[in-house]
Amino acid sequence: MWWKLKSSYESLPQSEGKTNKWRGPPGTHSNEVDIAWHEIELGAGGIRVTAEEVEMLNMTDSPEMPFHKVPDAQGGGYLAMLEVFHLLHCLNSLRMGLFYNYEHYKFLDEGVPDENIYSHFDHCIDMLRMNLQCQGDVTPALFVDPLDNPKRRDALPNWSSMHTCRDFDAILDWNKHGPRSVRWRDAGANPSWDPNLEGAEPPFPPEGKKEEHHHS
């Protein structure tokens, strides 16, 4: 169970001036860095929770936005995503955005050498990454089906779950290879999704994107 995953106690390494597989300025091993980040966010996939566990989370859906059900062929249950992977996904988006928009914000640090600015961004993002992984918030966020939006292919996440604020590798391994594991592409579509409608959204993540995730 996600709330019974083991914790570990360790000292976070000094980040300033160091490097690891999640770090590097744009253009320097960018593909390898992107893959490393993908592995600890969307690449982890989702999980399936039971109706009883949904009740324990004290969450309710509505006729217009029912909780998304995973197809029986993929194990059934309700689709969820552990908060730690959601937060790491958000952090990765910020990482890419900072580097992508760097020229736009360059005037804020006029006169500061490029390598110093990149090193500072890299350090700040990496400190947040380490702390998010250290805290490992495993509160499930349930998904709802937007039945009033037939253009929407995928279920929508509901981030309003209650939090009670762990070994991150154990969480990642359990999420990807445990009995509750489910690939995003196997989780099923919004029942009202019509891919033939003009402006209909494609599956997410986009087809063709490598998803390092294996269903047990």
What pLDDT, on a 0 to 100 scale, did the predictor assign at position 111? 67
The Cα–Cα gap between 169 and 88 comes to 14
CB atoms inside a 10 Å sphere around CB 188 = 19
Q: Which residues are bridge partners to 141 per DSSP?
A: 81
Q: What tokens does 182 get? A: 């489910």
Per-residue pLDDT of the chain (216 residues; tens, 9 = 90+): 555 666 665 655 655 566 788 987 766 667 888 899 999 998 999 999 999 999 998 888 999 999 999 999 999 999 999 989 999 998 988 888 777 666 666 665 566 677 777 787 788 889 889 989 988 888 888 999 999 999 999 999 988 777 755 688 888 898 999 888 898 889 999 999 999 998 787 776 643 344 444 333
What pLDDT, on a 0 to 100 scale, did the predictor assign at position 6? 65
Q: Is residue 205 reached through a cis peptide bond, with omega within 30 degrees of 0 on the bond before it?
A: yes
- Spell out the domain ranges in the chain: 18-165+168-186
What pLDDT, on a 0 to 100 scale, did the predictor assign at position 64? 94
The Cα–Cα gap between 117 and 53 comes to 46
What pLDDT, on a 0 to 100 scale, did the predictor assign at position 206? 42
Q: Which residues are bridge partners to 41 per DSSP?
A: none
The Cα–Cα gap between 152 and 9 comes to 42
What pLDDT, on a 0 to 100 scale, did the predictor assign at position 205? 62
